[in-house]
């Protein structure tokens, strides 16, 4: 079974190459495809503080996809971890997913803060973040994940 998707728009970002960390220093926006959408599609989105963005890691070649386990970022200090137990981009279907802050909505363009996608990335969906869709119950994650994320948004330099 094949599922065919069409980008709804693309990312414009001040980051043009793949790097792992310090994403908060970038400014990004998403512009919807004007051949398909009007401003109606984003109507009311400014009433939400956050959105979930689903995007496609189009710069990852199919032969780079991991189907089994590997150490996150190849770091020998971190455990051998299944590709579905990490968020690395070399994953089956190459989907990226991030909760970003809504900065502004203007016509077909959504400006966001904290989107870890490089310039030109195809966007597949935008969903408003609702409190009730957050994790329910106690949260737990392994130490390596907390270590990996420590410089992700801000490098601390």
- The binder of a second copy chosen from 26, 27, 29, 37 (CB under 8 A): 37
Number of residues located near a second copy, criterion CB under 8 A? 72
Nearest residue to 37 (alpha-carbon basis) of 7, 8, 12: 8
50 touches a second copy (CB under 8 A):
yes
> Does 77 participate in binding a second copy (rule CB under 8 A)?
no
Beta bridge partners of 31: 10, 109
For residues 82-141, which are near a second copy according to CB under 8 A?
82-87, 91-93, 95, 97-99, 101, 110, 114, 122, 124-141
In whole angstroms, the minimum distance from the beta carbon of 14 to a second copy comes to 19
CB closer to a second copy out of 11 and 42:
42
21 binds a second copy (CB under 8 A): no
Distance CA 110, CA 45 (A): 9
Residue 31 C-beta: closest distance to a second copy, Å: 12
Which of residues 14 and 150 has its CB atom nearest to a second copy in the complex?
150
Residues 11 and 2: their CA atoms lie apart, in Å, by 25
Q: Using the rule CB under 8 A, is 61 a contact of a second copy?
A: no
Cα 1 to chain center, whole Å? 25
User: Which residues are within 8 A (CB) of 19 and not within 5 positions of it... i.e. 6 or more apart?
Assistant: none
CB of 157 to a second copy, least distance (A): 18
Look-up of token digits 């512009």: 31
Binding of a second copy by 63 (CB under 8 A): no
Q: How far is CA 36 from CA 7, 22, 89, 130, in A?
A: 10, 34, 28, 26
């Amino acid at each position: 079974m094949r599922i065919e998707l069409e980008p709804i728009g693309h990312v414009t970002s001040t980051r043009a190459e793949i790097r792992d960390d310090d994403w908060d220093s970038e400014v990004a926006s998403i512009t919807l495809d004007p051949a398909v959408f009007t401003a109606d599609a984003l109507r009311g989105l400014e009433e939400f503080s956050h959105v979930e963005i689903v995007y496609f890691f189009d710069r990852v070649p199919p032969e780079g996809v991991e189907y089994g386990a590997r150490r996150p970022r190849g770091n020998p200090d971190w455990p051998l971890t299944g590709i579905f137990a990490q968020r690395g981009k070399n994953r089956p279907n190459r989907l990226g997913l991030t909760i970003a802050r809504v900065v502004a909505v203007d016509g077909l363009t959504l400006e966001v803060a904290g989107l870890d996608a490089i310039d030109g990335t195809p966007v597949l969906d935008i969903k408003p973040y609702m409190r009730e869709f957050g994790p329910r119950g106690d949260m737990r994650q392994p130490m390596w994940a907390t270590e990996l994320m420590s410089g992700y948004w801000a490098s601390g330099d």
